[in-house]
Amino acid sequence: MAIVRDPEHSDGAPTIAETGIRVKDVAVAYEHSGYEPDEITQLYPDLSLADVRRALAYYYDHIEDFRSPSSEPTAA
C-alpha cells in the first residue's frame, strides 16, 4: 500500500493507505522499541512485510521531518 497524507486523518501525518497506521508508529516500533520488520507485522496485522519496509523507507527518506521538535515518538 502507498504512503498517504490526509489533513483530515492523523492530523495530516503520513499513514499507510487504507490502514490509518502512521509511518511514525512503524518507525518507533523499529527504531526505539527494537522490533524487526516481521515482528511489526505481528503488532499491526493489517500490514504486510512490504508495507512495513515501505513505511521505513519513507521514514528514512524524510527523517528530518520526523525529527523536528514537534514530532515526539510514541509507544508502539
List pLDDT tens digits, range 64-75.
988 876 555 454
Single pTM value for the model = 0.83
pLDDT over 70 percentage in the chain: 89
CA distance 42 to 64: 28
CA distance 61 to 59: 5
Place of cell 500490514: 47
- In this structure, are residues 55 and 26 in contact, taking their beta carbons and an 8 Å threshold? yes
- In this structure, are residues 30 and 38 in contact, taking their beta carbons and an 8 Å threshold? no
Domain coordinates of the chain in residue numbers?
Answer: 3-66
List the grid coordinates of 38: 516481521
List the grid coordinates of 16: 499507510
CATH of 3-66, one of 3.20.20.60, 1.25.40.10, 3.30.450.80, 1.10.10.10: 1.10.10.10
